[in-house]
Amino acid sequence: MNGMPSNCPFPVDAHAHGAPCEDDGVFRLWNVGDPSVIVPENCFFSAGIHPWDAGKYDLAAFASLFDSPRCLAVGECGLDRTSEIPLPLQTKVFEAQIAESVRRGKPLLIHCVRCYPELLRLKSKLPPDAPEWVVHGFRGTKRKAFDLLDAGCVLSFGAGLLRDAGNMDYFAEIPLDRILVETDESPELFGQIVSEAAAMRLLPPSEFAAAVRANFRRIFRHDPVRT
Ligand SMILES: [Zn+2]
């Protein structure tokens, strides 16, 4: 199953690729990055244009996905300095998705690689009551983490915590209500990621997972229940 202790109530994976909605006892927010995808009935998802695909899709093609009450967030979207796609084009596509998130009142799931100053500048243009920004797969320095937290962002942690735990000891200092966990491309690592994150915070995994689930409910305005 998912590697979680059996007393852990339906833990939540805030960002996942791969096969949707496999019932392994984890609620997963499935990422849809292609507007032609047919989302299975029982699946909750985020939808948007990844910065690597900026210019490939028209945001208008995602409208019916965004309309779905099962679409809980816009993204993953964002900025990536290591991509061949020119940054001005990435920025234009990202800004359109920021506007979409505001218009629809859905949070943003953000991919950001070496573009934190640009990200913070865009965030500073929004009112504090705009939908939340979740920076996914975060594994930067303490300084970057707290710059994002100070700007009001939520941080989602994944396999980077397993690979890079030695450089991420600040994880224990992040307010517990600003943390999510995710598997991204590695659904099989869910139990390990939660166990490592909980251990770094000296919490039982079930208690840590319950806190993450409460964060998910608040940020995505959806209570993950078994369907
Ligand atoms: Zn992803």
Report the pLDDT value the prediction gives residue 4, as an integer from 0 to 100. 60
Q: How far is the CA of 199 from the centre of ligand 1 (A)?
A: 24
Distances 145 to 77, 161, 226 between C-alpha atoms, Å? 19, 13, 33
* Nearest one of 170, 185, 75 to 119, comparing CA atoms: 75
Please tell me the distance between residue 121's alpha carbon and the centre of ligand 1 in angstroms.
23
Ligand 1 centroid – CA 76 distance (Å): 6
Please tell me the distance between residue 210's alpha carbon and the centre of ligand 1 in angstroms.
23
CA of 191 to the centre of ligand 1 (A): 18
Q: Which pLDDT tens digits describe the chain residue by residue (227 residues)?
A: 555 655 556 799 999 997 766 677 899 999 999 999 999 988 999 999 999 999 999 999 999 999 999 999 999 999 999 999 999 999 999 999 999 999 999 999 999 999 999 999 999 999 999 999 999 999 999 999 999 999 999 999 999 999 988 889 999 999 999 999 999 999 889 999 999 999 999 999 999 999 999 999 999 999 887 65
Residues with CB under 5 A from ligand 1 (ion): 184
What is the whole-number distance in angstroms between the Cα of residue 186 and the centre of ligand 1?
10
Residue 10 Cα, ligand 1 centroid: separation in angstroms?
21
Would you state the pLDDT for residue 6?
A: 55
Cα(110) to ligand 1 centroid in Å equals 9
Q: Read off the tokens for 154.
A: 């939520």
Distance 75 CA to ligand 1 centre (A): 9
Determine the Cα–Cα distance for residues 109 and 22; give it in Å rounded to an integer: 22
Superfamily of domain 12-220: Metal-dependent hydrolases (3.20.20.140)
> 119 by DSSP, 3-state: which?
helix
Any bridge partners for residue 28, and if so which?
13
Distance 32 CA to ligand 1 centre (A): 9
Domain ranges for the chain: 12-220
* Ligand 1 midpoint to CA 47 (Å): 11
Residue 156 neighbours by CB distance under 10 Å = 26
